[in-house]
Amino acid sequence: MKILRTKEAVNSELSILKNNQISIGFVPTMGALHDGHLDLIKKAKLYSDYVVVSIFINPTQFNNAEDFAKYPQTLDKDMELLDKTGVDYLFLPELEEIYPNKPRLKMLFEGLDNTLEGEFRPGHFSGVGIVVAKLLNIVKPHIAFFGQKDLQQVAIIRQLVADLSMDVKIISLPTVREGSGLALSSRNMRLSEKEKEKALIIIHSLSFGKSELLSGKDWLSTREEIKEKFTVQDIKLEYFELVNSHTMDKLEKIDHTIPSSICIAAYIGKVRLIDNITVTED
């Protein structure tokens, strides 16, 4: 695996490949890699001739200084994993390479970014949009891969690519889970074993919500029931919403003609986790 640290290095390595009609698959990450990332990389290898992974902890998408400071960093282990998985290039830029100046740009994704994560993490999707646009401009891949655990992020990146007429195909892949059902996330590294057990309330609530909806139960009372469970266990629930999986519009009942998902964000101790479950497919 070759490590590229600058835009120029990426450009000189990859432009030769692209000129020879070699396809590039790209998996942007913030490191602290887990099997969810490796799943994206394996798919990227299947769909493209060469695979580029980036590791960059993007400060502009953190609205909370402590979350940024405590974001897990496991670079040596990550590089070993990437090498073993057969990644061709690791783009590993320093902060100044991506942000030579503090960007004045703010991105708004009308209608997509004012609920769920957007509501609780102001500025988050502007930061995601800016860094993903920068990374896609630098790597210029044919295909880029993202995980469905970040459902709203996927919707925003699809919109970004469409609105900026970027010539890249976006593929999103299902969430990878532990045997217990806990969605894999870099933030899980900050959970104790006890907290990991406590965190199962997230997937249990999603599964319960889905089965209640599919058996015709009323959504608003199901949501109240779930909220009550979090209150009783003294777990901070930020949201538990049924939404259109593409537009992120909140729904008040199941509609089998609309692709829908239940999305959740909750704090397990000091760690904020998000997850979602598909209720009705496309």
Q: How are beta strands 143-147 and 169-173 bridged, if at all?
A: parallel
With respect to ligand PAF, which residue has the nearer C-beta, 28 or 93?
A: 28
Q: What six digits make up the tokens of 181?
A: 């059902």
CB 66 within 8 A of CB 206: no
Window 140 to 179, contacts with ligand PAF (CB under 6 A): 150, 153
CB-wise, 58 or 222, nearer to ligand PAF? 58
- Of 115 and 222, CB closest to ligand PAF: 115
# chain residues binding ligand PAF, by CB under 6 A: 10
Q: Taking contact as CB under 6 A, which single stretch among the options 128-136, 191-199, 229-237, 271-279 is the one that binds ligand PAF?
A: 128-136
Asked if 183 touches ligand PAF (CB under 6 A), the answer is no
The alpha helices in 57-102, defined as continuous H runs, are 65-69, 75-85, 95-98
Please identify which residue in 128, 182, 226, 242 interacts with ligand PAF, judged by CB under 6 A.
128
Q: In angstroms, what is the minimal distance from the CB of 156 to ligand PAF?
A: 10
Query: Can you tell me whether residue 234 is helix, strand or coil?
Result: coil
Span near ligand PAF by CB under 6 A; candidates 74-82, 109-117, 127-135, 255-263: 127-135
Residue 131 sits at the vertex; the CA angle it makes with 128 and 133, to the nearest 5 degrees, is 100
Minimum CB–partner distance for residue 208 and ligand PAF (Å): 27
131 binds ligand PAF (CB under 6 A): yes
Please, is 158 exposed, middle or buried when counting C-beta atoms within 10 Å of its C-beta (0-12, 13-18, 19+)? middle
- Output the six-digit token pair for 275: 């997850």
Q: Select from 36, 44, 58, 82 the one that contacts ligand PAF (CB under 6 A).
A: 58
How far, in Å, CA of 206 to CA of 240, rounded?
9
User: End-to-end distance of the chain based on CA atoms, in angstroms?
Assistant: 38
For ligand PAF, the binding residues in 60-119 under the rule CB under 6 A are 61
Cα–Cα distance measured from residue 275 to residue 273, given in angstroms and rounded to the nearest whole number: 7
- Catalytic residue check, 37: yes
| Distance from the Cα of residue 70 to its chain's centroid | 18
- Annotated active-site residue in 34, 37, 124, 256: 37
Residue 201 vs 271, nearer CB to ligand PAF: 271
Cross-strand partners of 221: none
Relative to beta strand 260-268, strand 236-244 is antiparallel
Query: Minimum distance from CB of 56 to ligand PAF (Å)?
Result: 7
Strands 169-173 and 236-244: unpaired
Interface of this chain with ligand PAF, residues 17 to 56, rule: CB under 6 A: 28-30
Q: Which is nearer to ligand PAF, 170 or 235 (CB)?
A: 170
The residues that are catalytic are 37
Which residues of the chain form contacts with ligand PAF (CB under 6 A)? 28-30, 58, 61, 128, 131-132, 150, 153
